[in-house]
Structure 1
Amino acid sequence: MMKNLHPIDRIARGVIGIVIIGFLLLNNSYLQEPILEILLAIFGVLNLVSLISGWCPVYHLAGISTCKK
């Protein structure tokens, strides 16, 4: 896996992931759909994984790279 995310892109994904996970942990049953909560959790975790690894599978499939070479 070659990195395909620019550092700013990684930071944005990290912020999005933290906000979503934080919302899910602190929502106090604001969301009534457990499926929606699970999907949001998966999305948040995937953003955090992209932050850590610097690699995005969607960018890889689309042939996109925002990483400076």
Structure 2
Amino acid sequence: MTRNEGTIDRALRGIAGLVLLALAFFAGLTGALYWIALVVGIVMLATAVTGFCPAYRLLGLKTCSDC
């Protein structure tokens, strides 16, 4: 897995992931909305931590200047 996300992209994904997880756990979401927020939040955090986005790879995108 080669890094394909830049610093700003990773920071925004991390923030979005934390917000989605907070919504899932503390906003009283139920049913499908709970699961969507939970899964998308986890994926966003995972891609932020690793710096690799599988969707970017499939589309041939990179947001980092040194990769």
Q: Establish whether TM, by shorter chain, passes 0.5.
A: yes
Structure 1 runs not aligned, ≥5 long: none
Moved over 6 A (4+): none
CA distance in 2, matches of 1:10, 1:37: 23
Q: Which has the larger radius of gyration?
A: 1
Structure 2 runs not aligned, ≥5 long: none
Q: How many residues are aligned here? A: 66
Could you say what secondary structure the match of 2:16 adopts? helix
Cα RMSD after superposing both structures: 1.0
| Identity among equivalent pairs (%) | 32
> Equivalent residue for 2:16?
16
> Equivalent residue for 2:49?
52
TM-score, normalised via structure 1 length: 0.88
